[in-house]
Amino acid sequence: MSDILHHLPEFFGNHMLLVMLFVVLLVVLVGNEVSQLFRGYRELTPSALTLLINRESPLLVDLSAAADFEKGHIPGARNVQMSQFDPENKDLAKVKERPVAVYCRTGNTSAQAASRLVKAGFKQVFWLGGGLGAWREASLPIAKGR
C-alpha cells in the first residue's frame, strides 16, 4: 500500500487529464445522489410500487395521453393529461396526506409531475422510474380501456 502512495504524485503528474476527468465524474455522481436525497419524492421500481399499492393504496396517476391510457395502464390508475395536471386542484388537495404515485409511458413527464406535487405540499410522492415500460418489462398486470 505504501508503494502505491509513493507513486501517486508521479501518476498525477503524468496523467493530469485522467485525474481531472475522474474528479469531474466524482463531483457529478455525488451531486446527483445529493439532489435525489433532497428532491422530496422517491423513485420506485415496479416491485416497490406493487408493495406500495398492496400496503398503502396510493392514488395512482397515469399522465399518458388518453389513447395510450386506453391501450394499457396499471390497474386502478386514473388518467390525467399533463396539460390538465394541477396539483393545486381542490379534489387533489383533499388527498395531500395520502401517498400519490405518478407514472407515464417513459417516466420523464411523471418526474416533472412528482416535483410539482412536492411543491404543492404533498408529503408522500412517488415516481415510477422507467414508467409503464418498466412495469410491462417486469411482467406485471396491465388493464385496458377506461
**How high is the pLDDT of residue 45?**
92
CA distance 62 to 74: 8
Q: Are residues 9 and 75 in the same domain?
A: no
55: in domain: yes
- Mean pLDDT for the stretch of residues 9-24: 88
* 70-124 pLDDT, tens digit each: 999 999 999 988 888 887 777 777 778 889 999 988 877 888 888 888 888 888 8
Q: Are residues 80 and 66 in the same domain?
A: yes
**Residue 69's domain is classified under what CATH number?**
3.40.250.10
145: in domain: no
- Residue 139 has, within 13 A of its CA and on its CB side, a CA count of 0
128: in domain: yes
Q: Are residues 54 and 84 in the same domain?
A: yes
Q: Which three cell numbers stand for residue 78?
A: 386514473
* Backbone dihedral angles phi then psi of residue 80, each to the nearest 5 degrees: -135, 125
Q: Are residues 6 and 73 in the same domain?
A: no
142: in domain: no
Q: Which three cell numbers stand for residue 138?
A: 417486469
Q: The cell 391501450 sits on which residue?
A: 71
Q: Are residues 89 and 120 in the same domain?
A: yes
CA distance 43 to 25: 23
CA distance 133 to 104: 9
Q: Residue 8 belongs to what domain range? A: 2-36
Give me the torsion for CA of 81, 39, 124, 46, rounded to 10°.
70
Q: Are residues 52 and 77 in the same domain?
A: yes
**How high is the pLDDT of residue 84?**
83
Average per-residue pLDDT in the chain?
Answer: 86
Q: Are residues 45 and 31 in the same domain?
A: no
Q: What is the DSSP string of 27-86?
A: HHHHHHHHHHHHSSEEEE-HHHHHHHHHHH-PEEEE-S-HHHHHH-B-TT-EE--GGG--
* 43-56 pLDDT, tens digit each: 899 999 999 999 98
Under DSSP, the state recorded for 144 is -
143: in domain: no
Q: The cell 395531500 sits on which residue?
A: 96
Q: Are residues 16 and 66 in the same domain?
A: no
**How high is the pLDDT of residue 36?**
63
- Structural domain count, the chain: 2
Of 72, 79, 69, nearest in space to 102 by CA: 79
